[in-house]
Structure 1
Amino acid sequence: MSAEPASNLLRQPGPPEPVPDVDPPKAFDPRFTEAVPPQACLVSLYDQAVFSEGPVWWPARGILVWSDIEGRRVLGWHPDGCVRVVIDAAPFINGNTVDQNGDLIHCEHGNRRLSRTTPDGRSSVVVEAFEGRRFNAPNDVACAADGALWFTDPVYGLRLPRQGALAESDLRHYSVYRFDPITGSVRRMADLGQPNGLAFSPDGRTLYVSDTSRTEGGDGHTILAFPVRNDAGLGEPRVFAEIEPGVPDGFRVDHRGWIWTSSGSGVQVFSPDGDRLGLIPTPQTCSNCCFGPDKRRLFITSGQHLYALDLASD
């Protein structure tokens, strides 16, 4: 991978573009308007990706980073409106997060591993095997409060040639893992039909993981809630929410404990009790979302697009 090539400018600085013919946010519960004003408008920040995923705010660089998986690039949106290539010739990177050192952590479909990019552009391998066998195609990753990296490992990068490389699984299971950067150990935490997005509750006592096995002929279109034990293990999960239409690909949890999840209709928002609070419609199937540095803006990846929606202040 090469970072920040010389000819990396994809969009000139400037204001976002309005998104025509999209419905306004829809509240199913009065609490929704505490975060999303009824007059909030979706705007387009970039529309020339191939398949957008894995958005995360990178404080060390002050930019919004996201993956163009099929375009084999990691892109960066700057507050002045310009978009630049952050990583070129990427190995089908999907999910991204920021670790406790301020580095970007990537899920690589192509190389079937987690990797790291530092703010100055240096890259390295984080972890690439479990018990001597290669992962399937790490999909999404989250950094826990103790610095451990939790990630999902479904089959998609082995089945979709535009998002990885066709191959048989070395593991024969699709799992959630915990990587300890201090000891270098990898623990298999749970098996799902096709584990996909994941995020922790604000207190770290619940891990939410989506099962999107519906896309592989199964019936999974759910977000599961796992209690996190004191030893960092997981208890028995419960079904937190079933998502219709589509599947809960990627999602985030805010400071209230609300879950903001992708779906076939846009970003659906749920309370910690599982109440469906509202919907932010998107013109295409939504793949993922994340918050800006002050939690006042929601960034949304959807097909070719990076969208944004300004939120209400607390």
Structure 2
Amino acid sequence: MGMTRRNILSLGGAGLVAAAAGKAWGQSLPAILNQRYPDPSVEILDPSFAKYRIYSASVEKLGTGMRWAEGPAYFPEERCLLLSDIPNNRIMKYDEVNDTFTVFRSPANFSNGNARDREGRLITCEHSITRRVTRTEKNGSITVLADAFEGKRLNAPNDVVVKSDGTIWFTDPLFGINGYYEGEKETPEQSTTNVYRIDSDGKLTAIITDLVNPNGLAFSPDEKKLYVVEWKGTPNRSIWSYDVGADGTVSNKAKLVDAADFGALDGFRVDRDGNLWCGYGSNGALKDEPTGTDTAGRKIYELKGKPEDLDGVMVFNPEGKPIGFIRLPERCANLAFGGPNGNRLYMASSHSLYALYVGAQGAV
């Protein structure tokens, strides 16, 4: 039995429930987080965002039971979403027709980012153990697209996007080999953390080499701009913009978004109007001085930004101005547009998967 909204509502206080050999996960919580219209979780920060809020659409909770949800990718042929549950070393599948949430692949080499290529195949960043980018063929076999650069192993492939010409672009920070929670701790072999391009002939090129732990990436609708999140080193998390040449090179690096020193930009997607829909939350930074003491007189250092104020999706216009915010009860790491019309926003958020119908469509 798959976990559906009907099942969830009928289970009452049963807690976390595993169905069918432990492969379907759900929680006895209402699927709709807010009953009011318009949903107060969808905040308009600039009047230009109003047209993207659907008055009678609410944030829905579709599945839970993950430890760190990441890398959602939508497959219109099957009307399903695949996303990674990194610490649990598996890829999950949400079927939007049957409203089921099941395990797609386990183990999954601590997969992180996923994407659909132009032939409908799954592209996956395996960011620990194997440390490679793979393609799942239609028959289920796995093809390795990249696992080394200039004779040295990749760091930990993180996020990936496929350009209309079939080239595959991915980031390669250190996260997957920094410890034992999202993989295995290992010593990096690359001297830099790069953004790479895989050409149709399989050639691997380091396109950007001066970012400290590049993370999410996406193209503008016309693919003349490449946007990349830098996790650290600017000093705040930032989104950098690059002009993309006809030969696949990039130039004219410019900062588009600079998060506050407590804000965490992560994965993101771009809509057809060029807006950036970004996973957002607290980066865990502490205030420089203690803000008080506990009952035993010990100093307490609080976060610079409260997660409950930051968790969700921040939307920036093409000029980098924040215009909207979707407030979630969990930090959103990454997202994807899906649904038959490309206007259902899927949000991979810590332990759970959320969705919201919006007045925007994902850029293809």
In structure 1, how many angstroms separate the alpha carbons of the residues matched to 2:351 and 2:88? 10
Deviations 1:266-297 (A, max 9, x none): 10111111221110011121101110141221
Give the CA deviation at 1:15.
11
Larger Rg: 2
Is the CA contact (8 Å cut-off) linking 1:60 and 1:119 kept in structure 2? no
Q: What is the total number of aligned residue pairs between the two structures?
A: 304
In structure 2, how many angstroms separate the alpha carbons of the residues matched to 1:139 and 1:313? 26
Letter aligned with residue 131 of structure 1: E
In the other structure, the counterpart of 1:10 is: 24
Question: For 2:252, what is the secondary structure of its paired residue?
Answer: coil
Is the CA contact (8 Å cut-off) linking 1:95 and 1:139 kept in structure 2? yes
Give the CA deviation at 1:20.
5.9
In the other structure, the counterpart of 2:314 is: 268
Q: What pairs up with 1:1-314 in 2 under 5 angstroms? A: 7=21, 9-11=23-25, 17-19=31-33, 23-37=40-54, 40-79=57-96, 80-110=98-128, 111-180=130-199, 182-191=200-209, 192-213=211-232, 219-244=235-260, 245-264=262-281, 265=310, 266-293=312-339, 294-312=341-359
In the other structure, the counterpart of 1:3 is: none
Question: For 2:181, what is the secondary structure of its paired residue?
Answer: coil
Structure 1 residues 119 and 16, CA, compared in 2 at 3 Å: closer, same or farther? Answer: farther
Runs of 4+ in 1 over 4 A off after TM superposition: 20-23
Structure 1 residues 8 and 120, CA, compared in 2 at 3 Å: closer, same or farther? Answer: farther
Question: For 1:241, what is the secondary structure of its paired residue?
Answer: strand
Deviations 1:138-172 (A, max 9, x none): 00000011100000000101103111211111011
Give the CA deviation at 1:96.
0.3
Q: CA RMSD in A?
A: 2.2
Is the CA contact (8 Å cut-off) linking 1:24 and 1:39 kept in structure 2? no
Is the CA contact (8 Å cut-off) linking 1:26 and 1:279 kept in structure 2? yes
TM-score of the pair, normalised by structure 1: 0.91
In structure 2, how many angstroms separate the alpha carbons of the residues matched to 1:47 and 1:23? 22
Structure 1 residues 50 and 131, CA, compared in 2 at 3 Å: closer, same or farther? Answer: same
Letter aligned with residue 42 of structure 2: P
Give the CA deviation at 1:71.
0.9
Structure ranking higher on relative contact order (CA contacts 8 Å, 6+ apart) = 1
In structure 1, how many angstroms separate the alpha carbons of the residues matched to 2:120 and 2:358? 25
In structure 2, how many angstroms separate the alpha carbons of the residues matched to 1:171 and 1:51? 26
In structure 1, how many angstroms separate the alpha carbons of the residues matched to 2:322 and 2:89? 35
Deviations 1:213-258 (A, max 9, x none): 16xxx72400000100121100021000112443211000011111
Is the CA contact (8 Å cut-off) linking 1:61 and 1:119 kept in structure 2? no
Is the CA contact (8 Å cut-off) linking 1:16 and 1:45 kept in structure 2? no
In structure 2, how many angstroms separate the alpha carbons of the residues matched to 1:48 and 1:199? 28
Letter aligned with residue 130 of structure 1: F
Question: For 2:280, what is the secondary structure of its paired residue?
Answer: coil
Letter aligned with residue 298 of structure 1: L
Q: Give identity over the alignment, percent.
A: 35
